[in-house]
Amino acid sequence: MKTYLETDRLILREIVAEDVDGMFELDSDHEVHRYLGNNPIKNKEEAQKSIDFIRQQYTENNIGRWAVVKKNSNEFIGWAGLKLIKETTNSHIDYYDLGYRLIKKFWGMGYATEAAKASLAYGFNTLNLPEIFAIADCDNTGSNKILTKIGLRHKQVFFLNGIKCNWYRVSREEYNEYT
């Protein structure tokens, strides 16, 4: 299992089959899915399919979301990282999307900000990407705060699957000025 990043409190590593219980806890929670279309998973088989899908992205795109694990306990608390989006979204295709999702009991502790900030740095400093994008439901105050806090810039409001969302972008130059 490959570790990609370490922060003060977190390890960001490959998501593996053994993360199935954590993925189920994460994605079966209605509150976690409140701004994601309210479609939580119902069983561990669906959690395993999510893991398989992410692992396929590692193979096909050399990137995908990573497990977020607490350093002091080795506890799976969610996922974060970059994903190559190959479908057209808001008139963009083949772009890198920054995302994160944490188990509810770990909300409000700064973990999402810490993981997102590290993922952004990885995208620019390791992958040498020219720009990174992110999307957040307009009503998801927490996510919108995180994205602006780490330096992404709000570009526009658009609708994704009928949901009003904010579209964010940051270029490498903007990132370098911000950090």
pLDDT tens-place string over residues 3-15: 999 999 999 999 9
Q: Please, what are the domains in the chain?
A: 3-178 (3.40.630.30)
- Quote the tokens at residue 21: 């219980």
3-state secondary structure of 50: helix
pTM comes to 0.95
Q: What is the pLDDT of residue 176?
A: 92
List the chain pLDDT tens, one digit each, 179 residues. 899 999 999 999 999 999 999 999 999 999 999 999 878 999 999 999 999 999 999 999 999 999 999 999 999 999 999 999 999 999 999 999 999 999 999 999 999 999 999 999 999 999 999 999 999 999 999 999 999 999 999 999 999 999 999 999 999 999 999 77
* Cα end-to-end distance, the chain, whole Å: 30
Q: What is the pLDDT of residues 151-162, one digit of tens each?
A: 999 999 999 999
Phi-psi region at 108: left, alpha or beta (left = phi > 0; alpha = psi -120 to 50):
left
Return the DSSP state at 32. T
Using CA atoms, how far residue 55 sits from 18, 59, 83, in Å, is 13, 7, 11
Task: Tell me which residue of 21, 113, 115 sits closest to 65, measured CA to CA.
Answer: 115
Q: What is the pLDDT of residues 11-27, one digit of tens each?
A: 999 999 999 999 999 99
